[in-house]
Amino acid sequence: MSELVEPNPLLIDYFVKVRQLLTDLNQDISGFKEAGEWSYIESNIEFNIFLLDRLKSLDLLPKGSIRICDCGIGLATIMYDLYLQSKDFSDIEFEFWGVEKWRPYIDSFNENLSHYWNGALNIIEDDLMDHNYSSYNFIWIFTPYSTSDKLMAFFDKVILEMPLGGIVFGLDHWRIETYGSDLLKERFRELEVHKVDELWVFRKV
């Protein structure tokens, strides 16, 4: 029988608040559709249980200070989960960053959710394709683009810019091998691939 894990009460409170906010924020997502992008969709929180601890036990956490970037952070639910987990690592310094270009998400976060973070999250208002990822050694992606051409260009950019020793979640193996350029496939195949329970993580070596 698997052990029942109770989520952090703060995470539950945050999750409920986000769901309430998204009811209004995602009423009209036509702008996302026209841009070939997805509106804010949360990845499965259950997959992230003890994620940082599992990464450390597998020696997959980057060395030194860990700078985490969520690409298209929206309302930052997954990052808040990782932020709460990071409090158990007194010997590691974590920094949390998020790139988001849609102003309603940013405004809603600042007005309704920022107090949960105690100033620990840095949100950068920018387009994902204009941002540079060379300063982050832990990158989180959850399908920001709905069209394969835009998604492939973004994956290529992240792989190229991320530093050696950095890790990235959210690269889509099948779509890269199906729609990616030869150069993207070559870069992708040079990454170390690790399965961490339900998640795939890729390390640049």
Per-residue pLDDT of the chain (205 residues; tens, 9 = 90+): 455 567 789 999 999 999 999 999 988 888 888 888 878 877 667 778 899 999 999 999 999 999 999 999 999 999 999 999 999 999 999 999 999 999 999 999 999 999 999 999 999 999 999 999 999 999 999 989 999 999 999 999 999 999 999 999 999 999 999 999 999 999 999 999 999 988 999 999 9
| Amino acid 77: pLDDT | 95
**Structural domain contains residue 6:** no
Q: What is the CATH number of the domain that holds 120?
A: 3.40.50.150
| Amino acid 4: pLDDT | 59
**Structural domain contains residue 111:** yes
**Structural domain contains residue 28:** no
Q: Alpha-carbon distance 73 to 142, whole Å? A: 9
E strand spans, 51-93: 66-71
178 and 188 Cβ atoms separated by less than 8 Å: no
Q: What is the CA radius of gyration of the chain?
A: 17
Instruction: Write out the H or E segment, with its range, that includes residue 164.
Output: none
**Structural domain contains residue 56:** no
Structural domain boundaries enclosing 168: 65-203
Q: Around 49, how many Cα atoms within 13 Å sit in the side-chain half-sphere?
A: 10
**Structural domain contains residue 184:** yes
**Structural domain contains residue 130:** yes
This model's pTM is above 0.85: yes
Sign of torsion over alpha carbons 164, 53, 84, 14: positive
Q: Alpha-carbon distance 25 to 99, whole Å? A: 18
**Structural domain contains residue 95:** yes
Number of domains in the chain: 1
**Structural domain contains residue 54:** no
